[in-house]
């Protein structure tokens, strides 16, 4: 069976942003350049503003106008990335006609042109997650020791508590089938750093959706908003997800029950 569809699916990009005025201009320009080239399947761009106190929205609008690219700004009160992504996914999934909703960080550290690395599955239920090739010959930056430790701790906890086999659950480069996005994100309970792992748990372990890992290049362009202490505290939320799992709080999405015997992981 072929692992490539006849055409790339259409995509709506959702960029969560909090005080990204210094970096979002470049991200908008990168998306516009990609759309003008090989990215004609990128149909719409949404900036999900998490109550920024700087000029993030104004800069994003000005950059889009300069590039001749339409964007829509979704304004939310400041509640953190997790709840901003959840609200944006629920909103856009009901209004967009795109095949996929893409979560893309607004800092341009994971460029949208890495969509060209995706090997599209013939299964329309497939979820795609970035896997950063940190410090490899592909050009990714090497993370700091602290960041490596944080990643190791998160990977180990996700595997132990939730049974997730993925190396990089937190990568800000993910694509979800629009027709399943509302059911997936309506089950999100985490409001912290581990919400990605919770969504992947519902997709992989509860719903048996195919998960495709996509090698991506990570190029840091500033200081991370995630601090070690905050990450450690937020990581405790994985215990909450595990508790919810034991008490049957999550339900399958799509046709998972009928397809439970199909392979659950597709790696590229």
- Tell me how many helices (H) and strands (E) the chain has: 8, 8
Residue 162, phi then psi, degrees to nearest 5? -120, -5
Q: Find out whether 140 and 65 touch, Cβ atoms under 8 Å.
A: no
The dihedral formed by the CA atoms of 33, 119, 41 and 103, expressed in degrees to the nearest 10: -80
Query: What does the pLDDT read at residue 205?
Result: 93
Query: What does the pLDDT read at residue 153?
Result: 65
Q: Find out whether 14 and 48 touch, Cβ atoms under 8 Å.
A: yes
Residue pointed to by tokens 């006609």? 97
Name every residue whose Cβ is closer than 8 Å to that of residue 65 and which is 6 or more positions away in sequence. Answer: none
Read off the DSSP letter of residue 77: -
Q: Find out whether 216 and 173 touch, Cβ atoms under 8 Å.
A: yes
Query: What does the pLDDT read at residue 192?
Result: 87
Query: What does the pLDDT read at residue 260?
Result: 40
pTM above 0.75, yes or no: yes
Query: What does the pLDDT read at residue 167?
Result: 81
Residue 76, phi then psi, degrees to nearest 5? -130, 155
Query: What does the pLDDT read at residue 5?
Result: 45
Region of 168 (left: φ > 0; alpha: ψ -120 to 50; beta: rest) is beta
Region of 69 (left: φ > 0; alpha: ψ -120 to 50; beta: rest) is beta
Name every residue whose Cβ is closer than 8 Å to that of residue 143 and which is 6 or more positions away in sequence. Answer: 134, 135, 151
For the chain, 268 residues long, give each residue's pLDDT as a single digit of tens: 444 445 799 999 999 999 999 999 999 999 999 999 988 999 999 999 999 999 999 999 999 999 999 999 999 999 999 999 999 999 999 999 999 999 999 999 999 999 999 999 999 999 999 998 755 445 555 555 555 656 666 766 777 788 898 988 889 999 999 999 999 999 999 998 889 999 999 999 999 999 999 999 988 876 555 555 555 565 677 888 889 988 889 999 985 443 443 444 444 3
Q: Find out whether 64 and 28 touch, Cβ atoms under 8 Å.
A: yes
Q: Which fold has domain 11-267?
A: Spore Coat Polysaccharide Biosynthesis Protein SpsA; Chain A (3.90.550)
Task: State both tokens at 263.
Answer: 């392979």
Task: State both tokens at 10.
Answer: 């259409």
CA distance 115 to 35: 11
Query: What does the pLDDT read at residue 238?
Result: 85
- CA distances for 133 relative to 96, 106, 171, 184, 217, angstroms: 32, 19, 11, 27, 6
Query: What does the pLDDT read at residue 221?
Result: 72
Residue pointed to by tokens 């599209």? 120
- What are the sequence ranges of the domains in the chain? 11-267
- CA distances for 145 relative to 142, 151, 187, 220, angstroms: 9, 10, 34, 15
Query: What does the pLDDT read at residue 230?
Result: 57
């Amino acid at each position: 069976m072929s692992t490539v569809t006849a055409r790339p699916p259409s995509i709506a990009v959702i960029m969560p942003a909090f005080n990204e005025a210094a970096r979002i201009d470049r991200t908008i320009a990168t998306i516009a350049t990609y759309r003008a080239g090989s990215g004609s399947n990128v149909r719409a761009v949404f900036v999900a503003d998490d109550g920024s106190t700087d000029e993030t929205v104004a800069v994003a609008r000005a950059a889009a106008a300069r590039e001749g690219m339409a964007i829509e700004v979704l304004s939310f009160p400041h509640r953190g990335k997790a709840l901003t992504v959840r609200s944006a996914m629920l909103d856009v999934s009901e209004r967009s006609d795109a095949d996929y909703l893409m979560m893309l960080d607004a800092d341009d550290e994971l460029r949208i042109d890495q969509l060209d690395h995706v090997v599209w599955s013939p299964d329309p239920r497939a979820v795609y997650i970035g896997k950063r090739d940190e410090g490899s010959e592909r050009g990714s930056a090497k993370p700091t020791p602290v960041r490596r430790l944080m990643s190791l701790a998160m990977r180990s906890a996700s595997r132990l508590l939730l049974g997730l086999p993925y190396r990089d659950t937190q990568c800000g480069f993910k694509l979800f089938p629009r027709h399943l996005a509302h059911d997936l994100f309506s089950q999100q309970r985490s409001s912290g750093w581990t919400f990605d792992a919770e969504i992947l748990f519902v997709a992989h372990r509860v719903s048996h959706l195919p998960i495709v890992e996509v090698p991506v290049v990570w190029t840091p362009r500033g200081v991370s908003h995630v601090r070690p202490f905050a990450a450690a505290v937020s990581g405790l939320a994985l215990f909450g997800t595990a508790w919810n799992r034991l008490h049957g709080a999550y339900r399958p999405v799509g046709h998972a029950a009928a397809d439970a015997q199909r392979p659950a992981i597709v790696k590229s």
